[in-house]
Chains A and B, each alone.
Chain A
């Protein structure tokens, strides 16, 4: 009997990280300010969660410029996509299993 909980990813336990992943999954890239507005968190909080995802190789960071302003965008990596899908499937299975 395999336990669906083992497929639940600890990294996606946080609501904010879940939000970031959802946004980068459906967009080619998302910039910092858009993420901040979507998830409604403070700069520092968002930055630390982005860092965690980056360290896990789930998202890649692209530092660019719009005029003179820095414009940092984030995109999902192949590994991130796979991990997120596995996590979603596990969530679904758990809900179905509980009913």
Chain B
């Protein structure tokens, strides 16, 4: 019995060491919830603009009540997008930092660097593609493009952090692809992907690993 316990412990140690040495595991579930809330806040903020733009596109003419000149819609979208991304990132960093304090692991190391590089490559590519779509006024493709590239970034990063992120990535990609055939519902898809899925994922992860 004592022997058995010793071997089980040894196997547990090995698994733990393999994980800790190759993956960035401090990523907190609360980060996901924080990012999701940021996305939902952005959705609420953009909602009236979106309705107006849609109304205009469908009616095919200027609507008098439309409060935003077209040129400003693009910069409004870009600014909101960037602010949302930065605040989500800041919250993610904060919660992860708090968790790493608690578990006494260093936040900046080889594993964190690898995770960042591997998510940044698809993410920056996606940001440039999305920006170009906006410039070409292909507004309907913006949300799917955000979702698909973000999903790919998560999928790529999942090898270097908690493996559950892979599923979040796959869900984002599927959502983005579905949205490609339902152009005009971009903001809703965006809110589900970046808002609801993030919160669900974050809550699950927190429940699974961080609950005391």
Chain A residues in the interface with B (C-beta under 8 A):
15, 18-19, 21-23, 25-27, 30, 34, 37-39, 88, 91-92, 94-95, 98-99
Contact = CB atoms under 8 A, between A and B. Distances in A.
Interface in B20-56: 20-22
Given A18-B14, A21-B14, A23-B18, 18 more contacts: A18-B10, A18-B17, A19-B13, A22-B13, A22-B14, A22-B18, A22-B21, A23-B22, A26-B18, A30-B21, A37-B106, A38-B17, A91-B7, A91-B10, A91-B11, A95-B8, A95-B11, A99-B4
A99 to B, nearest CB: 8
Contacts of B135: none
A98 B4 contact: yes
Interface of B: 1, 3-4, 7-8, 10-11, 13-15, 17-18, 20-22, 106, 109-110
A22 B17 contact: yes
Nearest to A99: B4
Contacts of B7: 91, 94-95
15 contacts: A18-B13, A18-B17, A22-B18, A22-B21, A26-B18, A27-B21, A34-B21, A34-B110, A37-B106, A38-B17, A38-B20, A38-B21, A88-B14, A91-B7, A94-B4
